[in-house]
């Protein structure tokens, strides 16, 4: 077939612009949850694992041959995607529970030291940092009536800090993130200069989501907000129920076909009209918190739950349950979907590959090394059981709850959300490892 000179120029122009777009595309751990893939791909062999010196609660992202992830040891790591060797690490003065975002070769993330950072993705050199009024786990005095009732207690299930997202228009690029000080911040992507703030009544640890000109997020005040990205002005808000033990929104939202979906502790999954904030439907999660961020593929929404240990498949238009897959512990890891497969971890240290066309019947899994070692002494019939692990301790005492959590952490729980690239799935664990597993072709 003959090509004219003009058509050849057009061909190379399209190739160039396509590559340029892919290089400049913002990568984020929570808004990029559906990946390229075909069919059902179970887990194959371990490609490599990389050890940090702290628990990993943040989620990995992959770009330009490197994996980026934060650790409780205070570092953000850049790991070679092929070999698992370290390219560089960036030190902060606090645990890094925020996941990173990458745009224009800059990595943005937050730390418990109270700063949000912009770092060169290739060299690991700091570009700027922005100081919030302080980052911390969500906390209350005498939380849930636990003893001693005058003690300030961290919520033991808080886990995350907000991860930055990037808003761009013709004139500006803003880095937007929530903070434990109750503010949503928007700063200039080039220099970290403050552009606007929006104040809520409680910490914001969820990662905001951008759709068109709107910013969507929820906070520990139990309210879900829609703001104008450019100005930070509120467009609408929606209140969930706030009651003891069921307060707050930790999950990030998912947006599809004019609906915005998010889970809360109250304990429901909500579908709202994205423009008006009006309730379309809500799903009762049976007294289970929803910390996992929902993922929508086709007409199905997938999301994890806490006490029912379920990955739910719901009709995205009606909220009707299609089926559920039960894990061995709380499912706080947000699923990654590739082809007909959902990948996610649970709090017992298992990582699953679920065939989405099997109605929850076909799955594959691997376990962290710590789970294999400690499961017999900690788990009850291979499942998490808080009362069983407490060994009949008085769970009205906060310190006893901390002891149970320390036991659970021995298993290498997975609250990190996986990322898929080059036929490999990446996820972090509270055992301190970043894992890379090959997928079966």
Percent of the chain surpassing pLDDT 90: 90
Q: Are 368 and 352 a contacting pair, CB within 8 Å?
A: no
pLDDT in tens, 404-413: 999 999 999 9
pLDDT in tens, 310-367: 999 999 999 999 999 999 999 999 999 999 999 999 999 999 999 999 999 999 999 9
pLDDT in tens, 264-282: 999 999 999 999 999 999 9
Phi-psi region of 213 (alpha: psi -120 to 50; beta: other; left: phi over 0): alpha
- Strand 336-338 relative to strand 34-35, pairing: parallel
CA 167 to chain CA centroid, Å, is 19
| CA angle (134, 138, 139) in 5-degree steps | 105
Q: Are 112 and 71 a contacting pair, CB within 8 Å?
A: no
pTM: 0.93
Confidence of residue 18 (pLDDT cuts 50, 70, 90): very low
- The pLDDT mean for the chain works out to 93
If one counts every other C-beta atom within 10 angstroms of the C-beta of residue 263, the result is 31
Residue with tokens 């609250």: 415
Residue with tokens 């055992």: 431
For residues 309-335, one letter each, b for 16 or more C-beta atoms within 10 angstroms of the residue's C-beta and e for the rest, the string is: bbbbbbebeebeeeeebebbbbbbbbb
CA 177/CA 227 separation, integer angstroms: 13
Straight-line distance from the first to the last Cα atom of the chain, in angstroms, rounded to the nearest whole number: 34
If we measure between CA atoms, which residue out of 60, 75, 82, 65 comes closest to residue 23? 65
Residue with tokens 């709107």: 214
Task: Name the token pair of 119.
Answer: 């770092």
Residue with tokens 């228009």: 169
pLDDT in tens, 205-219: 999 999 999 999 999
pLDDT of residue 27: 81
pLDDT of residue 115: 98
Q: Is the pLDDT of residue 294 over 60?
A: yes
pLDDT of residue 246: 79
Task: Name the token pair of 148.
Answer: 């001693």
Q: Are 219 and 248 a contacting pair, CB within 8 Å?
A: yes
Long-range contact list for 50-54, CB < 8 A, 24+ apart? 50/77, 50/79, 50/84, 50/86, 50/433, 50/434, 50/436, 51/432, 51/433, 52/77, 52/432, 52/433, 52/434, 53/432, 54/95, 54/432
pLDDT of residue 99: 97
- Strand 183-188 relative to strand 194-199, pairing: antiparallel
CA 332/CA 328 separation, integer angstroms: 12
Q: Is the pLDDT of residue 121 over 60?
A: yes
Task: Name the token pair of 408.
Answer: 């659970």
pLDDT of residue 94: 98
If we measure between CA atoms, which residue out of 354, 215, 371, 346 comes closest to residue 292? 346
Q: Is the pLDDT of residue 10 over 70?
A: no
Q: Is the pLDDT of residue 9 over 70?
A: no
Q: Which domains, from first to last, does the chain contain?
A: 28-439 (2.130.10.10)
pLDDT of residue 385: 97
pLDDT of residue 51: 98
If we measure between CA atoms, which residue out of 325, 366, 428, 376 comes closest to residue 46? 366
Rounded to 5 degrees, φ, ψ at 402 are -60, -40
Rounded to 5 degrees, φ, ψ at 338 are -140, 120
User: Out of 8-17, 21-30, 133-142, 240-249, which region has the weakest mean confidence (pLDDT)?
Assistant: 8-17
Rounded to 5 degrees, φ, ψ at 48 are -170, 165
């Amino acid at each position: 077939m003959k090509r004219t000179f003009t058509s050849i120029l057009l061909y190379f122009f399209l190739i160039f612009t396509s590559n340029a777009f892919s290089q400049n595309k913002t990568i984020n751990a929570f808004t990029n949850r559906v990946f390229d893939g075909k069919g059902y791909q179970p887990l194959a062999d371990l490609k490599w694992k990389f050890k940090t010196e702290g628990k990993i609660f943040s989620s990995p992202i992959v770009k330009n041959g490197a994996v980026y992830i934060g650790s409780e040891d205070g570092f953000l790591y850049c790991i070679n995607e092929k070999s698992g060797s370290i390219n560089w690490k960036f030190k902060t003065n606090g645990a890094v529970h925020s996941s990173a975002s990458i745009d224009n070769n800059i990595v943005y993330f937050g730390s418990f030291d109270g700063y949000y950072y912009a770092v060169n993705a290739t060299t690991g050199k700091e570009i700027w940092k922005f100081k919030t009024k302080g980052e911390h786990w969500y906390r209350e005095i005498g939380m849930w009536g636990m003893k001693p009732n005058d003690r300030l207690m961290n919520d033991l299930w808080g886990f995350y800090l907000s991860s930055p997202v990037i808003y761009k228009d013709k004139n500006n690029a803003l880095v937007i993130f929530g903070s434990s000080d109750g503010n949503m911040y928007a700063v200039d992507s080039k220099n970290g200069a403050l552009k606007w703030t929006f104040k809520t009544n409680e910490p914001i640890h969820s990662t905001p989501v951008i759709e068109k000109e709107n910013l969507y997020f929820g906070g520990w005040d139990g309210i879900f907000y829609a703001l104008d990205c450019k100005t930070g002005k509120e467009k609408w808000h929606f209140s969930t129920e706030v009651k003891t033990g069921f307060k707050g929104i930790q999950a990030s939202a998912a947006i599809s076909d004019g609906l915005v979906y998010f889970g809360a502790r109250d304990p429901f999954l909500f579908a709202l009209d994205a423009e008006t904030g009006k309730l379309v439907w809500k799903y009762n999660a049976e007294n289970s918190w929803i910390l996992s961020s929902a993922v929508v593929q086709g007409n199905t929404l997938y999301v994890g739950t806490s006490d029912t240990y379920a990955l739910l498949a719901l009709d995205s238009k009606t909220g009707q349950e299609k089926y559920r897959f039960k894990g061995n512990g709380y499912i706080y890891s947000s699923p990654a979907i590739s082809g007909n497969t959902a990948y996610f971890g649970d709090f017992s240290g298992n990582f699953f590959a679920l065939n989405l066309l099997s109605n929850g019947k076909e799955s594959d899994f691997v376990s962290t090394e710590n789970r294999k070692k400690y499961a017999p002494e900690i788990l009850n019939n291979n499942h998490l059981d808080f009362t069983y692990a407490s060994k009949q301790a008085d769970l009205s005492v906060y310190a006893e709850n901390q002891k149970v959590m320390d036991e659970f952490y021995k298993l290498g729980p997975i609250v990190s959300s996986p990322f898929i690239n080059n036929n490999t799935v990446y996820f972090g664990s509270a055992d301190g490892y970043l894992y890379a597993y090959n997928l079966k072709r």
